[in-house]
Amino acid sequence: MPQRTINPRMLIPEPMQRCKLHECRGACCLHGVWIDLAEQADLLAHAELIAPHMPEALRDPQAWFDGRREADEFAPSGQVVHSTVLPDRSHYGGTACVFLRDDFKCALQVAGQAAGLHPWRFKPFYCVLHPLDLDEQGRITLDSAAALLSEEGSCLRPAPQPISLLETFEPELRYLLGDEAFARLASKG
């Protein structure tokens, strides 16, 4: 994976906090996810660890991807494929990623934990990144707070006071940047 950096915006405190899974029920999984080709190969290579955590009808790894493929300048391979999105009347927006379970947990995360690995071991980069994004230079950033807070299915909620974005997204940033790089950023904030 390329060495990631952050947009300076990530050092600015904002009056927002994370959602809680029992409240949002995985709303972020509405449209599925773009997956780097190397991540796809890794998922297929570990299908025997992942499949048991998916509904029986969705255990065939070939059904996990919908066939769409696009160039992505920020993906290590330069190409991404899309996860299958299924109709789901019980989920926010009426659709859900193939990896979203009935308990609103991600099958990839559950599989990682069950295998004794980091919970995000099998999660695609763009899943771990969300609701963060990449700017035009490939730096980790956050889109407009006003837009994120007004979206019903947002992964963010208003907070009574500004909170450092480094604090709000510490788990993701530590995972994506590494502990040492995160510590350097935190010492600046």
pLDDT tens, residue order, the chain (189 aa): 567 899 998 988 988 888 776 677 777 888 899 999 999 999 999 999 999 999 999 999 999 999 999 999 999 999 999 999 999 888 878 899 999 998 989 999 999 999 999 999 999 999 999 888 999 999 999 876 656 666 666 778 888 999 988 998 999 999 999 999 999 988 875
Return the pLDDT at 59.
Answer: 97
Domain enclosing residue 158, as ranges: 8-188
Domain annotation covers residue 2: no
- Would you say residue 1 lies in a domain? no
Q: What is the pLDDT of residues 73-104, one digit of tens each?
A: 999 999 999 999 999 888 878 899 999 998 98
Q: Between the CA of residue 42 and those of 36, 65, 95, 102, 161, what are the distances in Å?
A: 10, 13, 25, 24, 41
Q: Let me know: does 188 contact 11? Beta carbons within 8 Å.
A: yes
The two three-digit tokens of residue 184, written as one number: 């350097």
In a domain, 172, yes or no: yes
Could you tell me if residue 3 is inside a domain? no
Residue 54 in any domain: the answer is yes
pLDDT for 144 equals 67
**Has residue 34 been placed in a domain?**
yes
pLDDT of res. 145: 60
For position 189, what pLDDT does the model report?
58
User: pLDDT at position 25, please?
Assistant: 75
Examine residue 97 and state whether it is found in any structural domain, yes or no.
yes
Q: Is residue 89 part of a domain?
A: yes
Backbone conformation region of residue 43, classed left if phi is above 0, alpha if psi is from -120 to 50, else beta? alpha
| Domain count within the chain | 1
* pLDDT value of residue 123: 97
The DSSP-derived string for the chain is -PPP-B-GGGGS-EEEEE--HHHH-SGGGTT--EEEHHHHHHHHHTHHHHGGGS-GGG--GGGGEEEEEEE-TTSTTSEEEEE-EEE-TTSGGGEEETTB-TTS-BHHHHHHHHTTS-TTSSS-HHHHHTT-EE-TTS-EE---HHHHHH-TT-SEEEEEEEE-HHHHTHHHHHHHH-HHHHHHHHHH-
Tokens of 182: 């995160």
